[in-house]
Chain A
Amino acid sequence: MAGNGAKSSYWRGVRDGMPFILVLIPFATLFGVAATEAGLNIVETLAFSVVVVAGAAQFTALQLMTEQAPTLVVLASALAVNMRMAMYSASITPHLGGLPLWKRAATAYCLVDQSYASAVLDYEQRPDQTPDQKFAYFFGVCTPIIPLWSVFTLIGALVGEAIPPELGLDFALPIAFVAMIAPALRTRAHVAAAFAAVVGALAFAWLPWNLGLIVGGLAGMAAGAEIERRMGA
Chain B
Amino acid sequence: MIDRAELWLVIVVLGLGSFGLRFAFLGLVGDRPMPPWLLRHLRYTAVAVLPALVAPLIVWPKATGGDPDPLRLAAAALTLAVGYTSKNVILAMLAGATVMVAGAYWSF
Number of interface residues of B (CB under 8 A): 80
A57 and B55 CA atoms in complex are apart in Å by 16
Query: Is A180 an interface residue, CB under 8 A from the partner?
Result: yes
- Number of A-B residue pairs at CB separation under 8 A: 301
Question: What CA separation (Å) do A193 and B54 show in the bound complex?
Answer: 14
Report if A213-B53 is in contact (Cβ < 8 Å); known contacts: A65-B10, A175-B96.
yes
Chain A residues contacting B104 (CB-CB under 8 Å) are 164, 166-168
- B21 near A224 (CB under 8 angstroms)? no
Interface residues on A, range: 35 or more
Which residues of A line the B interface, CB within 8 A? 19, 22-23, 38-40, 44, 47-48, 51-54, 56-58, 61, 63, 65-66, 71, 74-75, 78-79, 81-94, 96-98, 101, 104-105, 107-109, 111, 113, 116-117, 120, 164-168, 170-185, 189-190, 193-198, 200-202, 205, 212-213, 215-225, 228-229
Give 18 A-B pairs besides A117-B50, A170-B62 with Cβ atoms closer than 8 angstroms. Answer: A52-B15, A63-B62, A75-B10, A78-B14, A79-B17, A88-B46, A89-B24, A90-B25, A90-B34, A104-B27, A111-B26, A170-B63, A174-B54, A174-B72, A196-B48, A216-B52, A217-B52, A221-B42
